Amino acid sequence: QVQLQESGGGSAQSGGSLRLSCVVSGVTYSDYCMGWFRQAPGKEREGVAIIVDRFGVTIYPDSVKGRFAISQDSAKNTLYLQMNSLKPEDTAMYYCAADLCGEAPKVLAGDFGYWGQGTQVTVSS
C-alpha cells in the first residue's frame, strides 16, 4: 500500500527558505515517478518539481526553476523539496505525489494516483 506524509510547511518571509519532506512508503523508487505539486485558493493544482529515478531527471516549471530543488533519499524513504528565494506567489498548499512511471516521465497532476494530505506554505512580503 502506497502512503505519503508531508511535513515542513509553515510561514516564511519573502526571500526566505523552507524545506518540505515527504515520507513515502510502499514504493520502489526506481519504478516510480514522484513529485511536488501546489494549489492556491481558486487555482488549479500545478507541478513544481518532478523526479524520475529511472531516467535520472528532474523537471521544474520556469516559475520555480533555480529556486526549488527536489531530491530523494531512498534509504530514508523520504522525498524533499528545498525552496529558496521564496516569493509571496509561492503561497499554497503543497502536496507530494507518486505513481508508477511509464515509458515517459509523468508531469501532470492527473497522472499521479497517490497523494499526501498536503502541507501549507505561506510567504509574506
Arithmetic mean of pLDDT, 93-113 = 92
Assess contact for 21 and 6: CB atoms under 8 A: yes
Check the CA dihedral 113-38-52-116 and report its sign. Answer: negative
pLDDT in tens, 39-70: 999 999 999 999 998 888 999 999 999 999 99
Q: Residue 29: is its pLDDT beyond 90?
A: no
